[in-house]
Amino acid sequence: MKAALASLMLALGSLLAAAPSSAQVGPSPAEAAKYTGLHAAAQRGDAEAIRKLAASHANLEARDGNGRTPLHVATFARQREAIRALAQAGAKLDPLENDRYDAVTIASVANDEETLALLLSLGASAKQVTSRYDGTALIAAAHLGHAGVVRQLIKAGAPLDHVNNLHWTAVIESVVLGDGGPRHQDTLKALLDAGASQQLKDRQGNTPLQLARSRGYMEMAKLLEKAGAR
């Protein structure tokens, strides 16, 4: 029975490990080729065109077929000057597209620290509930082992102990959806150093320490033990 449950959990973990990247859908080449106006300027990073279009009262919050604003498009494309121009023109920094991702979460999942830093400096929030899992950018980054992104989000005030609809926190996701290796160890350390709870349990009543031990992630278990986990 225990073996079957372990196999089920591993299968679930593998499925969910692919979820953020597959759920976040950037514009395809064919879709981008059809863009006009601000979406086209955002995709190619044309800050001057953005300023001119904004001055002529183009809709800064226009949506494409997947609910992406020009800001989402610029973030997917890593067009930082376009992001800056959109923000200066008054574009909203925190809208959600159809899959419920904001620009901060898009940059976080992409491990795009430079774009994330720009968004946060412009006033984008690290605190939003995003994605179909009712998670946060911090949870998504912890899941993927993006330790530098995690540290940026923590500094920006991301909620350390938000619980998503899978009943997982960033600490738990760094364990159950990680590989136990250096990136996820560094991610877990960043969370623990910031004061994230190591006592919150998953839906089955398992603590992060129990989850780390059950997976054989002994370095992560040591980090949790050092932080006072039980």
The tens digit of pLDDT for each residue in 189-219 reads: 999 999 999 999 999 999 999 999 999 999 9
**How many Å apart are CA 201 and CA 207, to the nearest integer?**
5
Phi, psi at 161, each rounded to 5°: -115, 25
Among residues 97, 122, 153, the one where a domain terminates is 97
Phi, psi at 123, each rounded to 5°: 110, 5
91 and 150, same domain (yes or no):
no
17 and 51, same domain (yes or no):
no
Per-residue pLDDT reduced to its tens digit, 2-56: 444 443 444 444 444 444 444 688 999 999 999 999 999 999 999 999 999 999 9
Sign of CA dihedral 43, 130, 125, 156: negative
pTM of the full structure: 0.89
62 and 143, same domain (yes or no):
no
Query: Which three-class secondary structure state does DSSP give residue 209?
Result: helix
Angle, helices 147-155/137-144, rounded to nearest 10 degrees: 160
Per-residue pLDDT reduced to its tens digit, 66-89: 999 999 999 999 999 999 999 999
162 and 67, same domain (yes or no):
no
What percent of the chain has a predicted confidence (pLDDT) above 90? 88
12 and 34, same domain (yes or no):
no
Range of the domain at 158: 1-24+99-230
20 and 36, same domain (yes or no):
no
Angle CA 23–134–122, to nearest 5: 80
Among residues 80, 97, 114, the one where a domain terminates is 97
Domain harbouring 125, CATH code: 1.25.40.20
**How many Å apart are CA 91 and CA 124, to the nearest integer?**
11
119 and 173, same domain (yes or no):
yes
| 206 and 177 Cβ atoms separated by less than 8 Å | no
47 and 124, same domain (yes or no):
no
What tokens does 121 get? 């400096």
123 and 162, same domain (yes or no):
yes
Domain count, the chain: 2
Among residues 74, 97, 120, the one where a domain terminates is 97
Per DSSP, the residues of 122-181 read HT--S---BTTTTB-HHHHHHHHT-HHHHHHHHHTT--TT---TTS--HHHHHHHTS-SS
**How many Å apart are CA 135 and CA 138, to the nearest integer?**
8
Q: Residue 68: its pLDDT value, please? A: 97
**Helices and strands (DSSP H and E) totals, the chain:** 15, 0
56 and 150, same domain (yes or no):
no
85 and 138, same domain (yes or no):
no
Residue 196 Rama label (left phi>0; alpha psi -120 to 50; beta): beta
For the chain, what is the largest distance between any 2 Cα atoms, rounded to a whole number of angstroms?
66
16 and 55, same domain (yes or no):
no
Q: Residue 98: its pLDDT value, please? A: 95
